[in-house]
Structure 1
């Protein structure tokens, strides 16, 4: 090789090396660069962000990062997208309550928007449309303008059917998910569709499957969480299979609701609206608000059923597991229940104020077993400030609900299940502002009152009539492990209801 060729090769090598160095330097610079006065936080792996660092418990990893970066920090989730994580009550309250007009938006999640097309309620961005739709929903839940019984009656009316289904197990081991979701779903059907279904009815069984199955599959639940952080995964195998399953669930749901709406239209009387669908149809036919249309009705009810069935079922399911782990708590609860309600009396919400230990048990269950560890993601509608940091408009913000409910600043020995923490020295129930499973602020769960009512009446009715026992042939799920994704649910198990 002559000297000239060697020099050319050296120059090419030097140029290539310099170019690679420059590209790497620029890439690293832009990767680690943050906006001015932006919260510090983990960058993760270039281009992949923090997702590979999460493991099974993103909320717990975020709580660990809080020790290094503080209660408000940023994290790079994928590419160059920045998220803000709020890891204590003070920061969550400051943003979601005191600055709710700035922090109440919803980010664009591709995997969901391809299915809901900007309709419904839960994933609507903050603005006039969301405000009007939420106001309408709150009015219906309170029963305003409807010629039907109240929400509390819908819950009470379902109790005999729940108890009869439990008696039918005849003291044999069974999976509670074969019953609880149907009870919860029927309450929603009564409130929003004006009817309930028998537990073996095909429509009810299909609705339960549509709104429960995906959360109780480890892979599907995990995939849903990944779609939030990395939406393009919905096009990549094997995650694409979960997305196809989700899409099929939407299609099956649409078939059912079309049938129910058609039945309502046949018997519709604008002067006497019976339920949510009637009230919605009335607004449609009056035509005063163009946001009331069939597609919006579909997605609205879908949002309510998805949140309502899963929240109530999951809370009751974890409650029963707690009773299996702590039979002495079950005994104490039953003693209080029978003292206030009697051995066979009907449980009413009016009994609640006289049952401090029962309230404390439910509150501790909601705290200890956080159903939605990272809550719902928010988006800033305008530039905002928190703890001296500037959060630009359009930034995704997520409240770490689990971190608040496991913060030793608020709860002594938070890793222990202790209902007594909510009982004062006089034996009264003390509700904590730091138990926030339904979130806080403008976007607090609209169905919280209904969910709490179902949990109280259903749980008390079950403990009153049955001794809840473990199946000797299956393992009781541990309280600090389960299927973790957008929701935290227990692994499958069986239990025994022995009538007493």
Structure 2
């Protein structure tokens, strides 16, 4: 019988494939439970349009810590606040690594800050960034003045019909905030360099065929050799090189007129640190500088612009929200006053609206993936070293334990009986722990000042003849949850 079996190659191949599949299905002892996937691709075919929703539902059967096979790897999903807090805050040293991701590798070329693995290099760059951004003024009055000034340029651009999308206009303005920090100056919106830079870094995170194929490649890297995915890989790599070339020009310009007695911006501060060290320092060098600046652009503009896009869609979908915010604006600083972060305490509804927006329309549903740096234990399960850890922020924000009727958009849930704002520790759009977003303060300032400054001068109205898409349905792009395409009118008050 066995002799006859080996006479049929197809049967033998099938048996070998089955044995190989069984081998891949093996999990470490006491590993978190989870669903079985398909050979080679794992659970990918069962994911919904918003993967965070699919993973959140697994909590009902498997609990807060779930293992899910993606490709040939088993990832661990954290589906509630307490578990994420335990891993990222209480055991932050063990759970703060960064797993390899082909798509991000194409963009970062293995350098930078956001995608660096946890270790001495990352710690040095994190400390430098935290200190330098604080010294430059991030979160302080002079930076707020820059945001207020940029708001005026943005208002004029929004009120002008020039064929640009809302998202492009927002990205140009927010990129200029980053320009002020890293270059010490702003660039013209319609200068070819700034616009091309914005087009490059937004292309990978918007709803388009390019970003969808790039997302697929990140989950199944073998596809990078197969057309049309291979072409997407090449385009992504080439455009990343182009972006880096633009930034290198700014760095060389700064280096040519560097004066250590006049540190003007982030680039000068980094160059100053370089000159204090050996010539070939592994951490502080021009390659690392250029890619650090690139990370500041990616993190400091595209994400905040998407949040503001969601805000505009909310304002036309729920016009009563717009009326209440405008009412607070007029009461607090009037038609001609200057919006400021100091006004937050006098504008509880505006603060509640922003917090509910960040909860209900979670921009990073699965945040940035982490990796274990050593063998660890979580909720009684054994998590081996180098395991990919996925924090499901969406599951936290939609947890009925903390938010009644979580699928409803209700800013009033964050107001007490006296109408005062209630800040929630369970709204964590910037993540928590050692790897929480470095630019959180700046992002919060941008959103508050831009939103109130725009509504002070402009009405946000639906465009006649163009029905609005549902505010409750977004598009998962690469790692972000973006608003659907929509068009509104910005009318002067």
* TM-score interval, normalised by the smaller of the two chains: over 0.9
1:220 Cα offset (Å): 2.7
Counting only pairs closer than 5 Å after superposition, residues 10-409 of structure 1 correspond to structure 2 as 12-15=3-6, 23=16, 26-79=19-72, 81-143=73-135, 150-169=142-161, 175-288=165-278, 289-409=281-401
1:425 aligned counterpart, secondary structure: coil
8 Å CA contact 1:218–1:484 kept in 2: the answer is: no
1:481 Cα offset (Å): 2.2
Residue deviations 1:100-139 (CA, integer Å, cap 9, x gap) = 0000000112333355343110000001100110111111
1:404 Cα offset (Å): 0.8
8 Å CA contact 2:463–2:488 kept in 1: the answer is: yes
8 Å CA contact 2:260–2:272 kept in 1: the answer is: yes
> Residue in 2 aligned with 1:460?
452
TM-score computed with the length of structure 1 as normaliser: 0.93
- Which has the higher Rg, Structure 1 or Structure 2? 1
> Residue in 2 aligned with 1:3?
none
User: How far apart in 1 are the matches of 2:306 and 2:128?
Assistant: 27
1:489 Cα offset (Å): 1.1
1:215 aligned counterpart, secondary structure: coil
TM-score computed with the length of structure 2 as normaliser: 0.94
Matched residues, number = 487
1:22 Cα offset (Å): 6.1
> Residue in 2 aligned with 1:7?
none
**Further displaced range: 290-299 or 450-459:** 290-299
1:466 Cα offset (Å): 1.1
Provide the alpha-carbon RMSD of the alignment. Answer: 2.1
8 Å CA contact 1:191–1:275 kept in 2: the answer is: yes
8 Å CA contact 1:174–1:495 kept in 2: the answer is: no
1:487 Cα offset (Å): 0.8
User: How far apart in 1 are the matches of 2:27 and 2:257?
Assistant: 59
Residue deviations 1:191-238 (CA, integer Å, cap 9, x gap) = 111110122112221121122122223323323332332222233222
8 Å CA contact 1:284–1:290 kept in 2: the answer is: no
1:439 Cα offset (Å): 0.7
2:489 aligned counterpart, secondary structure: strand
User: How far apart in 2 are the matches of 1:271 and 1:191?
Assistant: 18
1:255 Cα offset (Å): 2.1
| Structure 1: gaps (5+ residues) | 1-9
Shift in CA distance, 179/113, structure 1 to aligned 2, threshold 3 Å: closer
User: How far apart in 1 are the matches of 2:137 and 2:154?
Assistant: 29
